[in-house]
Structure 1
Amino acid sequence: MPTPQPSFGPRVRRLADRLSAQYHTAISPQYDQGRRSWTLRWYDGPTAASVRAALGRAEPEHAAVLVRRDVSTRALALAAIRETRAGAMHRFVGSWGQRYHLEQLLVDRADPDRPEGPREAAMLERLLTAATEGGRWSAPDESRAFELVARHGIAWLLPADRLAGPDDRDGLALRPLEYLTARYATGVHRTAWETALATLPLRTAVAAAQADPEPVPDAARAALALLPDLRAQLAGELDRAQEQLARAAHS
């Protein structure tokens, strides 16, 4: 494979411009004098495999161009939120170990800095703000972001502690079961909520609100909203018990 020379630069730059427009990502060509090679570099956006495949479909000399995608602090912080919720975040291996784990996780993910929906976007922005120390132009510290997630979990990143109403369509407020979990969960249930947003069992959540001697109005409203689901759950359990006992009685 021929080694691209500096004079190849104009074509590489045109190639970078075309790929930038194709993937809506700023892709920059860089020439390494020591290695006598051109590299296309960018943050987040398409995977390296996608760009490499695009080069393979282009002119033959483009196959000699190297590609390198870096991931931003934003992408790593978002991955930390998702991995923590999935129970797969390596919490005690240090920031470099966490970074390596998350980078490997994102290799095959396009646009790793892009949240899925308003709730995840709000959680990400809250984490990045908390991980930023200094003046107005300071950047978030990824090690600080990892530390915050490892120490406090992710429930504190939820954008609101209010109960969602019928007009809440963006997922920023807490749904009834989430609200009761955030208010009443203790022990392992509290840990599961804080780290993975795992909610209480339906019956446990409603019972906690019922046992509260002075529930706040939103807690009462949340429990009331869950009663139809609880009624259906209990009816299903009774139906299954009846079937099981009836078979035993006639065996």
Structure 2
Amino acid sequence: MNVKELKPESSLRAAFGAYLRRSRREFGWRQEDLGARMGYASTHVSAVETARKPPTLRFARSADQAFGTEDVFERRWREMRHGVLLEGFPEYVGYEGRAAEIRLFQIGIIPGLLQTQGYARTLADSAVRRGAIPPGQADERVLILAERQAALVRPRPPMVMVVLDESCVRRPVGGPEVMAEQLRALVEFAALPNTVLQIAPYALGERRTLDLPVNLLTMADRTLAAYAEAQTQGHFDREMTLVAPLLTAYHQLQAEALSQAASVAMIEQAMKGMSRDD
């Protein structure tokens, strides 16, 4: 039998697979033995070991149960999943899924919660071509984004308020079809009963109160949290004295931004402009 050589240094997924194989061999188990203990086929175990298939949270927890390792495999899974995110963002995502109110401000690109799959895939693939991330992480980024979006579809969804710098709707991403689909999704988002969408136009100039993207959360108990990031660094904060000034700046920005009706009109105008370019 040919045993595929593993390269754990190539990616976090490969490292997970190599650790799984090493643990299995230390117990003297075949893939069939481990699969039977975990409730998976031996082919599934093989695919995870060789990084052909990504492990799921259920798989990681089943491995911990089989090996009696408490949460070792689960922690490795979380490291693998969150390794594609900036520091502070995994913690933010945990709060985001439970927030009563979400406020977003973005510059240059559509915020993740509003991105279509085509738009998100274009950004992830571009990062791969630039060498910013390995190919496997592109899939993880898109998957994590889909999970974040799904977490907001619940019986009592949060109020989501979004202010986009005009550059978000003017900057072409992925070609006319991808961008047109994304702009249509923004218009549909604005029509939802639990959303507010505004554009901060270029004409605001120095009156734009925020210079970096920011995510603000209000939890059910009315406590606040904030996440802000630069190109290579993110920071999550729940300290009221630090978050409150950001919330004030956000409210000031909302007051200066276009109304939702005017913002939707600008988006629709941008869509028509792309149609003429075709």
User: What is the TM-score when the length of structure 1 is the normalising length?
Assistant: 0.34
More strand by percentage: 2
Larger Rg: 1
